[in-house]
Amino acid sequence: MEIRVLGPGCPRCEEVAKRTLNLLAELNTAADFQKITDLKAIAQHNIIATPGLVINGKVKCAGRIPSTQEIKQWLEEESKTAQ
């Protein structure tokens, strides 16, 4: 699974990263996790507001902090798709 947290490193972006990493550990799921802070790289995902969460190339959320339950659901969905 490939996960990207998009944002300049603000507290909101850090919260999305923290929630995602905690859930990966809870679900015992391996992932290629990266925080993307470069504005040009962020723009390639066609989001106009950060933080953004991209899982397996799909923008799941942009411009807000998703709930832990939302992130968990997306991780589980993408995990099933990858199998």
Mean pLDDT by 10 residues, the chain (83 residues): 95 97 94 95 93 96 97 92 66
- Residue position matching structure tokens 């953004």: 52
Q: How far apart are CA 41 and CA 35, in angstroms?
A: 11
For 27, the domain range is 2-82
The pLDDT value recorded for residue 3 is 97
Query: Taking the model in full, what pTM does it have?
Result: 0.93
Active-site option among 3, 6, 13, 47: 13
The pLDDT value recorded for residue 83 is 59
CATH number at residue 72: 3.40.30.10
Residue 61 annotated as catalytic: no
How many structural domains does the chain have?
1
Active-site option among 9, 10, 39, 81: 10
CA angle 74/75/79 to nearest 5° reads 115
The pLDDT value recorded for residue 81 is 75
